[in-house]
Chains A and B, each alone.
Chain A
Amino acid sequence: MTDKSEVRTALYGQTLIAGLWRENPVFRLLLGMCPTLAVTAAVKPALTMGCCVIFVLLCSNIIVSLMRNLLKPHLRILMFTLTIATFVTIADLFLKAFVPEMSETLGPYVPLIIVNCIIICRAEACASKNGLIISVIDALGMGVGFTLTLCVLAGVRELLATGAIFEIQILALLKEGGWFVPWAAMGMPVGAFITLGLMLGLVNVITKKDA
């Protein structure tokens, strides 16, 4: 009996770690590149986007996992998209009502969560084959992994583009008597591609060492 529960706990831990590092959606699976590149100019929008993805991922994984035995194979993608679209719309409405400024900053990228591959990938690969608990843990792991990655990326970009993190000035700007010259390109798409590329390289080097 203890053996069984130990195995189960180990499985839960594995699932959680998979999303955070081993199968990190951005660094290892290279999924969800659109928000990764588009909303990481500053930490705040990146964090908001991450929270929205966690919410949608959690809800869709729960629903898909609950109805996994009722799904007809050829209609399953349709059901996934329907479920995801519903929760994205709800998340979008909540953002508009409670953080209108953030909702404007994110613009079309909130509705675009519908086509975020991470969520449909988790519905297909995990929730439609596993029970409720595994699905929930998987959603949390993947969602938090995605959010953390986005925040790290956004932190680097915001620091180089404005000298601030979370809108708190860290590096003294040249025009205010400091030494740091803001690197405007980092706030633009160019900065996103360069930062993401360098980070992917870094992660590859680290994982090679592990193996």
Chain B
Amino acid sequence: MTLQHCGRKGLVMLKIKHFIQQSWLLIVASFFFGLLIAVTNAALSPKIVQNKINKRNRLVGALLPDAKNFVLDKEIEIESIQGKKEKIEVYRAMSEEDECVGWSFNADGSGFADKIELVVAVDKDFEKLAGFDVLASNETPGFGDQIKYDYYRDQFKGAPAEELKLVTSGEPKNIDAEIVAISGATVSSEAVVEIINSFLTQIKEQMQQKGQISNDRQE
């Protein structure tokens, strides 16, 4: 059947037929593969989510040794360093006797090479930092990734929960608002301090407004 012999409707039918002939395998395979991925995802996603929670709890647990479990307390909206509105989940750390022993939240911002994701822990009155740990980062091995090392992180343990300052020289063992930068990785050190400052001050402010901090069982 040539094109002249069939009408407009016939032409459309011919085109559809041609399309199906050419691509039926693609369509069938797409459905099949999509199904395969959906099944795998359904089977594995609870485990993946659990892995993330476990990792977070393990890191916070190391920072707040008294904490036994972590309860999602509330979501606080803050403005990120780039000026975007973000919802931050603040977790209440509970001890074995069901008392609040501290707070923790995730914080992120740009580092030297890629986004740095931190988890920050604070004591129950938001007066002192209990420390931070790195959830995900892609800093230069040997230099920027030293933000994961104890000698840098220990400077934050017990530091006052207020605006921190980065200095290039000083004694890292002194626990105060001055954080000594890692030599050769000033950008990464700065990024961590900046992220903590930005998130901590805003969350602290909002917690104080809601009267959450001084009276910890109040809801």
Interface residues of A (CB under 8 A from B): 41, 67, 70-72, 75, 78-79, 82-83, 85-86, 89-90, 93-94, 96-98, 100, 104, 107, 161, 184, 187-188
Q: How far is the CA of A98 from the CA of B37 in the complex (A)?
A: 17
Query: Which residues on the B side are within 8 Å of A93 (C-beta)?
Result: 40-41, 44-45, 48
Nearest Cβ in chain A — how far from B68, in angstroms?
23
Query: Which residues on the B side are within 8 Å of A96 (C-beta)?
Result: 44, 48, 51
**Chain B interface extent, by class:** 20 to 34
Q: Are B22 and A188 in contact (CB under 8 A)?
A: no
Nearest Cβ in chain A — how far from B134, in angstroms?
10
Query: Can you list 24 A-B contacts with CB-CB less than 8 angstroms, sorted by A residue number?
Result: A41-B141, A67-B29, A70-B25, A71-B25, A72-B22, A75-B22, A75-B26, A79-B29, A82-B26, A82-B29, A83-B33, A86-B37, A89-B37, A90-B36, A90-B37, A93-B48, A96-B44, A96-B51, A97-B44, A97-B48, A97-B51, A184-B141, A184-B142, A184-B143
Contact of A188 among B29, B37, B142 (CB under 8 A): B142
Interface residues of B (CB under 8 A from A): 22-23, 25-26, 29-30, 33, 36-37, 40-41, 44-45, 47-48, 51-52, 55, 136, 138, 140-143
Query: Which residues on the B side are within 8 Å of A86 (C-beta)?
Result: 33, 36-37
Q: How far is the CA of A86 from the CA of B26 in the complex (A)?
A: 13
Contact of B25 among A41, A79, A100 (CB under 8 A): A79
Q: Are B138 and A107 in contact (CB under 8 A)?
A: yes
Query: Which residues on the A side are within 8 Å of B141 (C-beta)?
Result: 41, 161, 184, 187-188
Query: Which residues on the B side are within 8 Å of A107 (C-beta)?
Result: 138
